[in-house]
Structure 1
Amino acid sequence: MPSWAWVSGLTVGATAAVLVLAAQANHGTHPTASATRPHATASASPHASTTHAPKKKASAAAVPASSGSGRRVVYSLAQKRVWLVDGDDVASRTFTVWPGTVSPDPGSYTVSVRRDSTTGSDGVKIEHIVYFAAKSGLNIAFSNAVDGSEPSPASGTQTGGIRMHTADGAALWTFGSTGTKVTVVK
């Protein structure tokens, strides 16, 4: 048998094994983040004032009700915001993003491919690339610029990259393994 046949067979077998392991990992336990609340402290100031309860955070931090349930990444087109939602439907992290010029349609997707780094269609070196959709011949993926820069407005170029700050890109990379559900809402 020719060597290319062996290599092709081994590649197909390895890819199948990775997909099976990713599917099994998605059904296992996943780490969750917990938040701690600061404790109130007393003041010895002679001009003590009454303390007011902290104001509630803006509704932008709330996971959209129409985003389904279970462990998932939620992306709001209107809010330009992403939530990393654990299995208990609690957001462990939320952050704003810079969308590309081509946006995915609202719906349910799964992380299909991940790449450590490459050069984006805008010529910027990017990392933590998490692909989940395609539209108008473009792959749609979350990523961050290696140098931490914010994207410049596209000059007539169609881009499908949804960029974020470096720390947010690292968090999404850790959370969004292959097979992770991605829900896009308006």
Structure 2
Amino acid sequence: MSGTSSMIVTGLTAAALATVGFLGHQAAANVPPGLRHPASGAAAAVRQALPDKDRPTALPVRSGTGERVVYSLKGDRVWLVEAGDKVSRTFGVSPGTVDPARGTYRVTSRSGAVTGSDGVPVEHVVRFTGVDGTAIGFSAAVDGSAPVLDPQERTGGIRETRADGAAMWKFATIGRTVVVVP
């Protein structure tokens, strides 16, 4: 190689290494905190760090064990989970204006048919907690509508379709575990 050619190759190599270094730095700076130093269970951490849009129907990790209802606040989704972590049904929901805190609850009461806090007749009401006097639970509007939310009104109804409400009613009997995840 001539002196000029070797200088060009050296210059291109240096530019390429600088670009790779810069891109590597950018990638490292944008790694989610839970993945910066993965230890044991790294595969689970990677799965958990994936955005919900990449796996909207996957049962969230760290959502409890045994038969349970899992409710994702961020995903507005419910999973009915049988023994052995077998999901028997998953579906989207429309939350009220008051969210429950993350945690584990038990179904405390049920009503076949009532009027929701928004004035709409609902069926298959499954309640599991309350927040400052507002009951929180799952229900289905008899007319099949989603709630029309007024941020000034405190509503704790998490609306399902009528078919999903019927499945919840059958599955979530008194005492059934409900796990609320982010």
TM-score computed with the length of structure 2 as normaliser: 0.69
* Aligned counterpart in structure 1 of residue 108 of structure 2, from 105, 108, 112: 112
RMSD, matched Cα: 1.2
1:153 aligns with 2:143: no
- Gaps spanning 5+ residues in structure 1: where? 1-56
Shift of 1:58: 4.8
Distance 2:86 2:178 in 1: 15
Shift of 1:65: 0.6
- Gaps spanning 5+ residues in structure 2: where? 1-52
Q: Which residue of 2 aligns with 1:184?
A: 180
> What is the CA deviation profile of residues 100-147 of structure 1, one whole-angstrom value per residue up to 9, with x for unaligned ones?
000000000000111001001110000000000111211101000011
1:166 aligns with 2:172: no
Instruction: Choose between structure 1 and 2: higher helix proportion.
Output: 2
1:78 aligns with 2:74: yes
Shift of 1:169: 0.4
Aligned partners of 2:129 and 2:136 also within 8 Å: yes
Q: Secondary structure at the match of 2:166?
A: helix
Q: Secondary structure at the match of 1:88?
A: helix
**1:2-151 mapped onto 2 (5 Å cutoff):** 58-151=54-147
Q: Aligned residues: percent identity?
A: 52
Shift of 1:80: 0.3
Q: Secondary structure at the match of 1:117?
A: strand
Shift of 1:153: 2.1
Aligned partners of 2:97 and 2:151 also within 8 Å: no
> What is the CA deviation profile of residues 28-70 of structure 1, one whole-angstrom value per residue up to 9, with x for unaligned ones?
xxxxxxxxxxxxxxxxxxxxxxxxxxxxx95111111110111
Shift of 1:162: 0.4
Distance 2:111 2:145 in 1: 19
Instruction: Report the residue type matching 1:74 in the other structure.
Output: V
Runs of 4+ in 1 over 4 A off after TM superposition: none
Distance 1:79 1:68 in 2: 17
Instruction: Report the residue type matching 1:98 in the other structure.
Output: S
Distance 1:150 1:134 in 2: 21
**Are the structure 2 counterparts of residues 60 and 138 from structure 1 closer, same or farther at C-alpha, using a change threshold of 3 Å?**
same
Q: Secondary structure at the match of 1:63?
A: coil
Instruction: Report the residue type matching 2:128 in the other structure.
Output: F
Q: Secondary structure at the match of 1:61?
A: coil
Shift of 1:93: 0.4
Q: Secondary structure at the match of 2:129?
A: strand
Instruction: Report the residue type matching 1:81 in the other structure.
Output: R
Instruction: Report the residue type matching 2:98 in the other structure.
Output: V
